[in-house]
Amino acid sequence: MKKKHILILTATLFIGIVIGALSMGIYSHKRMNIYSEIPPVEDIKRRYIKTIEPDATQLNTIGPILDRYSANAYNTMKESQTKMYLLNEYLYNELKPILNETQKEKFEKRINRIKTRIGK
């Protein structure tokens, strides 16, 4: 009888953990899809609006201004990423003769992550 109670409690705990993990996975996946569907310039504008919290009358005036600055912010971010990629390439080329194979692999992975992010 005692084993039966322990088995039921353990099974209930396990089922709860599985349901919680699955629901968190589904929730996280939906949240990530929302952000991947929004164009970067619109996402920047959305974050500004969330920060400012304008009322309805202000939103009509602020919208076009945010459109201009959001595009500029996105372009600046892309230029900065490209500069960081080039800086890392130059640094790697200078450090390559000094690094061992493991260090070279780690540095190359870093450069490849940056390259993937900026779309090179």
The whole-angstrom separation of Cα 100 and Cα 90 is 17
The tens digit of pLDDT for each residue in 18-52 reads 999 899 988 887 777 665 667 888 888 888 888 88
Q: Which long-range contacts (CB under 8 A, 24 or more apart) does 55-61 make?
A: none
* Distance (Å) of CA 20 to CA 5, 25, 117, 119: 22, 9, 32, 36
pTM, rounded to two decimals? 0.54
Q: In which element (H, E) is residue 97 found?
A: none
Contact predicate 38/46, CB 8 Å: yes
